[in-house]
Amino acid sequence: MEVREVLNIAILSGEILLTSGSEIYRVEDTIDRICWAYDIKCESFVTPSGIFVSGWALNNANESVSLIKRIRNRTINLHNIEMINTFSRNLQNKTMPYDEAMKILKSIEIAPYFSFIKRLLAAGVTAFAYAVLFKGTFIDGAFAAAISMFIYLVLEKMKKADFSQYFRNFLCSFIAGLISVCAAKFIDFLNINPIIVGSIMILVPGLAITNGIRDALHGDILSSQSRVVEALIIVTSIGVGMGLALLLMKIWM
């Protein structure tokens, strides 16, 4: 197989991992393993926003190819990460032709995600659990779940409209704050604190913070700083949105 074809397989695998929320070291390791499976030596450099790979044949160092892939969108899809891990492990045991490998990767890339209803219910369950965890009652948890499901619906609509991630988090936390304060104002037995915490928990960038720390432990300082800064900006947008909602409701009420 030609060097370019091997690198195409490796870089597409890395792209799926990176856009699915994988750690940097896992992406680089997967690219290296795929190249070695086809007797191609490579050097890869991965950041949260790009993949840089150079490869050459072990028996012909003059045949060198370099590829760059820009990454613009990232989400969380652990299922895709597991499928790519399985794919790369299978290549270690037995290589496959270029067309077959690309067909498998394309099928992973477009594999159906969890249905919207399942994701909506998951958002509600998450909010309910955190509201109860922070000493809220069953009713507080139910209100937090309803608010969380509503802002998840808003979040999905804004994603389709291609709004900035930071603006999406700001607006959703602002809406959650308004609804929470209004509910607690007109229903005396509600506890506003666990409702607020539970309702915005789906916006918190827990995976970005975790991956930033893991990247730092593996020596990927640039990627670590990038992820941590991104997480801090997201947290700030959530805090500003919630703070503005609380301030406006305090003045109004």
Residue-wise pLDDT tens digits, 88-101? 988 888 888 989 99
pLDDT band at 13 (very low <50, low <70, confident <90, very high): very high
Is-contact 227 211, C-beta < 8 A?
yes
Give the global pTM. 0.79
In three-state secondary structure terms, 160 is helix
User: Quick check: 61 pLDDT over 70?
Assistant: no
Tokens describing residue 63: 């045949």
The whole-number pLDDT of residue 210 equals: 83
- Whole-angstrom distance, CA of residue 83 vs CA of residue 152: 26
Q: How far apart are CA 156 and CA 173, in angstroms?
A: 14
